[in-house]
Structure 1
């Protein structure tokens, strides 16, 4: 879908005053998308950090999982027992359920569910604090933030139609998921390295694509004035960009993170 001219929305000409109103609405819509995403990111990393102390050694009950590696009871349940599979796949199931059920939710409920999902994601990725140094996590997070901001800006401002890349990028994501599942059993460092490189490229492309799609979706429906629908569209947009950021961060961490 080509970039919209705000003087023409959904194929119809609109007066200058209405175009200015749509421009203002678009800015507010994008601010809501980025604001919701940012709060979700804070919740995710707060949840992950809160669980990072599960490897401490000065607790009465400890579980040794390796040379000089100990977990608390909760840490063992999350990272070294069959429950780890539930923790690992819970965010994926949550996304499918959220996407399928959002039409039956109010915008306020959808936002609350998104924040709950962000906390679940934080629990799922909390093991990064056991694997990588805190400094490298912060460093990769900063790199990801800068890259994400640049890519999202490209998606928002470019006049190039990115819609043709959507199917290709989604197919790439499916390929990454399948390859990652296979590598859970193979444990191949070379395969993990290849997955991480391809993942960074795919989620970089999705960041630009999703940003343009969020913008165009708003402009295509702005004339309808359905604030409830637009509110839920902003939350789904925040979810898309949030997933792009988290996945790009995790792939970059695999490539450049310093391990404990």
Structure 2
């Protein structure tokens, strides 16, 4: 479980928003930009799903992957961290390649879920996740209220989840497991709205290259929100512990 470091409230040095008086950006332009972001996000989800199905269909390969689960997890963290820290130094093409590489790598680990849970369960949880994601996206897009403070609270909640999850790896507490799962759902539901509103601001960045980078980082943020919400819902309603 991870969340990109791009979710801070301040702009990085490549993120200087242009003055709306200089370039007229209407709601149609922002909507088109958001559509591009969601296009990248769904491409990432599709890539994860395809890789997961391919790996799950090859038992020998899947067994080999299970032996290196920790290395895969570390690799995923490094890719997300590198993208977040070095985004201002790399081209949009490189950022896109890293995002898609991360999505493909995530598919390797997700292949296990296809064997742990029946397809009907996975489809049902995916439907619930997609519906919740759609609702909270609409909230983040249309609300006039600034969600920056709300987002910071959600990020603090995320840090708490990570710490509690690490602690529970050693404690093995059933009660803490369920508490983490419920809090995790609440946190990522909130982050969907927050990240959606934040992405709208990326349409006002001062160059086309910066806006392309913003689209990739926004897609990564929403991708992680969707994936983590799916995992926590699966823990709650999938009928089996991960």
Q: Which of 45, 51, 59 is the aligned partner of 1:41? A: 45
Question: 1:160 maps to which residue?
Answer: 145
RMSD after superposition = 2.1
1:227 to 2:214 alignment: no
Q: Structure 1 residues 24 and 196 mapped into 2: Cα distance closer, same or farther (>3 Å)?
A: same
Q: Which secondary structure state, in structure 2, belongs to the residue aligned with residue 45 of structure 1?
A: helix
Report how far residue 187 of structure 1 moved: 2.9
Gap regions ≥5 residues in structure 1? 1-9, 56-71
Q: Structure 1 residues 128 and 13 mapped into 2: Cα distance closer, same or farther (>3 Å)?
A: closer
Q: Distance in 2 between matches of 1:259 and 1:53?
A: 21
Q: Structure 1 residues 124 and 25 mapped into 2: Cα distance closer, same or farther (>3 Å)?
A: same
- In the alignment, is the contact (CA less than 8 A) between 2:49 and 2:107 conserved in 1? yes
1:78 to 2:59 alignment: no
List, as ranges, runs of 4+ consecutive aligned residues in structure 1 with deviation greater than 6 Å. 10-13
So what's the TM-score if we normalise by structure 1? Answer: 0.80
1:128 to 2:109 alignment: no
Bigger Rg over Cα: 1
For CA contacts below 8 A with separation 6 or more, give which structure has more relative contact order: 2
Indicate the structure with greater strand content.
1
Q: Distance in 2 between matches of 1:47 and 1:13?
A: 42
Q: Distance in 1 between matches of 2:134 and 2:46?
A: 16
Gap regions ≥5 residues in structure 2? 1-16
> 1:145-187, CA deviations, whole angstroms, 9 ceiling, x for partnerless residues?
0100100110000011111112211111111112122222333
The number of residues matched between the two structures is 225
